[in-house]
Amino acid sequence: MVESTHETCEGLLGSLSDYIDGDLGAELCRQIEKHIAECEDCRIVVDTTRKTIDLVHASNDPQTGLPDDVRNRLYKRLNLDDYLKPSAK
């Protein structure tokens, strides 16, 4: 990171999660956007961190159900066999 804006780079890093999650106020967002327009390293850190989280979400398929055999054993262990419905998959 560039030496002359070291403090601002550190400040940006502290607010990075809140910024990416959209939990930061408008004024702080504006300050960060102004900073990353001038600081290429911080711009890269923001973009690649955001992309990292996007990739985590994209590769995590929430529709992945429980494997049928795991489900059957679970219901059996809990004595819930009679409630075993066909898998929703």
Partner 1 sequence: MVETIIQDISIEALRNGDRAEFAQLVDAYSAPIYRLGLRMLGNEQDAEDVLQNTFLSALTHLPAFEGRSSVLTWLYRIAVNEALMILRRGKPEVNIDDTDSSDDNDQISPTQFVDWSALPEDELLSAEGKQALDTAIRNLPENLRMVFLLRDIQDLSIKDTADTLNLTEVNVKVRLLRARLLLREQLSYYYGERMKKEKSNG
Residue ranges that bind partner 1, judged by CB under 8 A? 1, 10, 13-14, 16-18, 40-41, 44-45, 47-53, 55-60, 62-66, 70-71, 73-75, 77-78, 80, 83, 85
Toward partner 1, which CB reaches closer, 37 or 74? 74
Toward partner 1, which CB reaches closer, 26 or 58? 58
Q: Give SS3 for 28.
A: helix
Tell the smallest beta-carbon distance from residue 71 to partner 1 (Å): 7
Residue 1 CB contacts under 8 Å (≥ 6 apart), including other chains: 9, 39, 41, 42
Tell the smallest beta-carbon distance from residue 25 to partner 1 (Å): 16
Answer yes or no: are the C-beta atoms of 19 and 32 closer than 8 Å: yes
Please state, as a whole number, how many other Cβ atoms lie within 10 Å of the Cβ of residue 1. 15
Tell the smallest beta-carbon distance from residue 34 to partner 1 (Å): 19
Toward partner 1, which CB reaches closer, 34 or 73? 73
Closest Cα partner for 44 from 1, 88, 87, 89? 1
